[in-house]
Amino acid sequence: MAIIRETTRGYNVLAEEDILATSRKVFLTGEINPESSSDLLKRLMALDEENSDEITLFINSHGGDVLSGLAIYDLITNMRSPVRTVCIGAAYSMGAIVFLAGRKREVYEHSRLMIHDPSYLSNDIGGKKPHEIQSQVDKLIETRNVLAEIISKVTGKSLDEVLKVTSEDSFYNAEEAISFGLATEIIRKET
């Protein structure tokens, strides 16, 4: 959708994303994959290059590719601009890991977060040798530990506590996310 603005030079047609980018607001919605992460990485880099003011990243994602999500996490945690992450809807799986990259981590009142162990996406092990299967399992366990360490570092929970809760899909409403240390604040309309 485009928005038309009148200026001294006439009318300008602007995309919603361009207007939001001028106020340093970007979105991560849908699946996290190489394409969506590449687009987001470029936007974040451009905003960080522009100046070091705070950037707000709104997240509504059920997760996706681990490497793409970790690329976003690494960039955010190494930018000079502070990034405020806001869960608006859902931050599940890798969406939750990206959410944890924010210096401020805010959730809307009816949003949900979910953390869990990574899963092996291909169920086809037919024709594979035992050492090939074991190699894939070893990589999965390595990824599990990387994600658990991130959650542990951000929440202040022990690695054992994190590994226990991530062994299953663990869902958190806004209050529970604050209590566990995933979020720092709930966004509510002041009356």
Cα 143 off chain centre by: 16
Q: Which of 36, 68, 93, 111 is catalytic?
A: 93
The question of whether 131 is a catalytic residue gets the answer no
Catalytic, out of 111, 116, 119, 152: 116
- Is 116 known to be catalytic? yes
- Note the residue count of the chain: 191
Active site residues: 93, 116
